[in-house]
Amino acid sequence: MGRQFHFSLITFAVNFYLLMKKYNFYSGPSILPKEVFEQSSKAVLELDNIGLSLIEISHRSKEFMDILEEAKSLVKELLGIGDEYQVLFLQGGASMQFCMIPFNLLGEGETAAYLETGVWSKKAIKEAKMFGNVDIVASSADKNFSHIPKQYTIPSTAKYFHITTNNTIYGSQLQKMPESPVPMIGDMSSDIFSRRFDASKFDMIYAGAQKNMGPSGVTLVVLKESLLGKVKRQIPTMLDYNTHIKNGSLFNTPCTFAIYVSMLTMRWLKSKGGVAAIEKINEEKAQKLYAEIDRNSLFEGVVAKEDRSRMNITWVAKKPESEEAFAKFAKDNGCIGIKGHRSAGGFRASLYNAMPVEGVNKLIEVMQEFEKKNG
């Protein structure tokens, strides 16, 4: 009788969990794999049976140095790059890179080329103008960033060419990386490790961790050392890439917790078959949701179909007055964070690597149910 009651209680708990499960569609800080949450929560209490918490060990201890080295190695393995690239874990988010890049690479009177495809590229351009000239080779601002420009020329005299590979706010994505006659730099904050690409085309890649790699607080920077040392200006120590290369990302106390969780997330991705395997899953998730957006009589997409992001799916209600009702309906039914960015409106579902297919299926069910009630 006792055992039967115990199993009945477990069954009830499991069913209740499934009924009440919530899916996180926020653009960031975003969803992480369940295994990573479990492992990192244990490490906060005690790291690998050493008698100390992860968040109290020295960043120069052997335990953390092992974590840091594994994280660097996993970055190179997942991106398919060699020792010609340096891997750094910095602070300040991708926004800090907007100024660090021109500070280190763009001399006075020199020109950098930028592709303007959204809010974050606009912010990067604004910072670069403080240090030199900026050539905006193409922009989709005139159509509210609803597509990726295709026809443009990158000047061979530019010091570098900067692109944002995925536009988190507007939901567009470069489906094919461009060819560049000058060093190319990619802001990959919202699609790093989500799809295969030829990383050797880039001289620098950077990404805030809080989309596909880990929690907020650390920024990944991958760069060729040959880019550096060409500007004549003095660079503040903390903003000089050479400082962090020479000190192995340990010039100041790094965000040890965020680096550890990022390492666990990259371990998880490797165990799932790496970038090639997760790309297939990401394609499936995105195709399912876009198919429903295109089918549903209440909604419509906002980005040119050939430029639709697999990471950040955006759409609007055909009747704008129903947007608040749908946002509430989705939240009440376990789909959290689908409201669009304040500058874009509408809806946005972020389908980062850790989002399971079940979460997408749930959102589709919610959209279909809303259509039945309001169509």
Domains of the chain: 22-31+273-374 (3.90.1150.10), 42-271 (3.40.640.10)
- 356: nearest Cα among 297, 268, 257: 268
* pLDDT-based confidence at residue 10 (cuts at 50, 70, 90): very low
Q: What are phi and psi for residue 187, nearest 5 degrees?
A: -85, 105
For the chain, give the percent of residues with pLDDT over 70: 95
Asked if residue 190 lies in contact with residue 94, where contact means CB atoms within 8 angstroms, the answer is no
Q: Report which DSSP code applies to 252.
A: S
pLDDT (0 to 100) of residue 21: 77
How far is residue 341 CA from its own chain's centroid? 16
Query: Is the pLDDT assigned to residue 343 strictly greater than 90?
Result: no
What is the tens place of the pLDDT at every residue in 106-160? Answer: 999 999 999 999 999 999 999 999 999 999 999 999 999 999 999 999 999 999 9
> Which active-site residues does the annotation give?
120, 187, 211
E strand or H helix that includes residue 42: helix 34-45
Query: Is the pLDDT assigned to residue 257 strictly greater than 90?
Result: yes
Asked if residue 348 lies in contact with residue 339, where contact means CB atoms within 8 angstroms, the answer is yes
Asked if residue 359 lies in contact with residue 30, where contact means CB atoms within 8 angstroms, the answer is no
What is the tens place of the pLDDT at every residue in 206-226? Answer: 999 999 999 999 999 999 999
The residues, ordered by sequence, that sit 6+ positions from 5 with a Cβ below 8 Å of its Cβ are none
Separation between Cα atoms, residue 171 and residue 165, nearest integer Å: 11
**3-class SS at 343?**
coil
- DSSP labels for 3-18? HHHHHHHHHHHHHHHH
* pLDDT-based confidence at residue 6 (cuts at 50, 70, 90): very low
* Model pTM score: 0.93
Separation between Cα atoms, residue 225 and residue 286, nearest integer Å: 36
Side-chain-side CA neighbours of residue 330 (13 Å): 28
